Amino acid sequence: MVYPNKINVQTVEHFDCNNNSLGFLNEYESCELRCQIAEQKVDGYYLIFKNEKIEILPNGKIINWINGLYDTNEILLSRLFRAQRSS
């Protein structure tokens, strides 16, 4: 029998160019924020993960991605693909 497990969605604090907190955003909210940054080509936005400042470039890219940052979906899809290959 299978039962759904409750997933605790990771949130990470994001900041604007004036160092004001934008709150703790989940992966989808962060991606949406990065879309806005890219569309408006604004500079100075960043997030803090594992006590590291991670810059969001004006094109929305994150260059210095740290392991463990927003990786739940990747881990679950990997698990699913492994199970599908073994069947």
The answer as to whether 61 is a domain residue is: yes
What does the pLDDT look like over 25-65, one tens digit per residue? Answer: 999 999 999 999 999 999 999 999 999 999 999 999 999 99
Segments forming the whole domain that contains residue 29? 12-86
The answer as to whether 78 is a domain residue is: yes
The answer as to whether 24 is a domain residue is: yes
The answer as to whether 7 is a domain residue is: no
Residue with tokens 């949406």: 32
At residue 87, does pLDDT exceed 90? no
Count of Cβ atoms closer than 10 Å to residue 65 Cβ: 12
Average pLDDT for 6-33:
97
The answer as to whether 5 is a domain residue is: no
Tell me the pLDDT of the chain averaged across its residues: 96
Model confidence, pTM: 0.88
Domain count, the chain: 1
Average pLDDT for 64-78:
93
* Tokens found for residue 42: 């604004």
